Structure 1
Amino acid sequence: MPFAVGDAVQLKGRPNYLKTADPMPMLRPPDLVDSDEQGQVLAIKARNQLAVRFRRGTFLLEADQLQAAAP
């Protein structure tokens, strides 16, 4: 796993949708997260998924959709 809990990350590109990290996940539109917005890894889930907190919510994302945030 290239990321650890607490790491700052950004999206590599705009996904088709965002999946919330709630106990009952929902699909949300991708425009809730800006391309240059930084998020923080909150948890590492099964199947290479990460729970990442952004300004407008916490979403489940694949590790290959993310990159380390620029300092």
Structure 2
Amino acid sequence: MKFTVGERVYLRVSQPYLKTSDPMPMLRPPDLVSLEETGEIIALLPNDVAAVRFRRGAFLLPIDHLKSEHQS
């Protein structure tokens, strides 16, 4: 599925950890983002990775682990 910057998304599956999108990325615990929480794509990166801003931070996530807010 193709995503665009600014699109609202959910996590499709829970993650074993979350990697921050900071210049010096850190690994964070997975409970910072729930499957019901909506985030906004802030950047599309190579290798099918998106930077997504959630309420508790911005994280790098594989695109295949995301689903669009408007997807049924």
Q: Give the gaps of 5 or more residues in structure 1.
A: none
TM-score calculated relative to the size of structure 2: 0.93
Instruction: Kindly indicate whether residue 69 of structure 2 is the aligned counterpart of residue 56 of structure 1.
Output: no
Give, in whole Å, the separation in 1 of the partners of 2:69 and 2:14.
Answer: 15
After TM superposition, give the deviation of residue 46 of structure 1 in Å.
Answer: 1.2
Give, in whole Å, the separation in 1 of the partners of 2:17 and 2:68.
Answer: 21
- Deviation by residue 1:33-54 (Cα, 9 ceiling, x = unmatched): 0110000000001111000000
Residue 22 of structure 1 corresponds to 22
Give, in whole Å, the separation in 2 of the partners of 1:4 and 1:65.
Answer: 15
Q: Which stretches of structure 1, 4 residues or more, deviate above 3 A after TM superposition?
A: none
Give, in whole Å, the separation in 1 of the partners of 2:65 and 2:33.
Answer: 13
Percent of pairs with identical residues: 52
Aligned-partner SS, 2:60? strand
TM-score calculated relative to the size of structure 1: 0.94
Q: Give the gaps of 5 or more residues in structure 2.
A: none
* Backbone CA RMSD of aligned residues: 1.4
Letter aligned with residue 34 of structure 1: S
Letter aligned with residue 14 of structure 2: R
Aligned residue pairs, count: 71
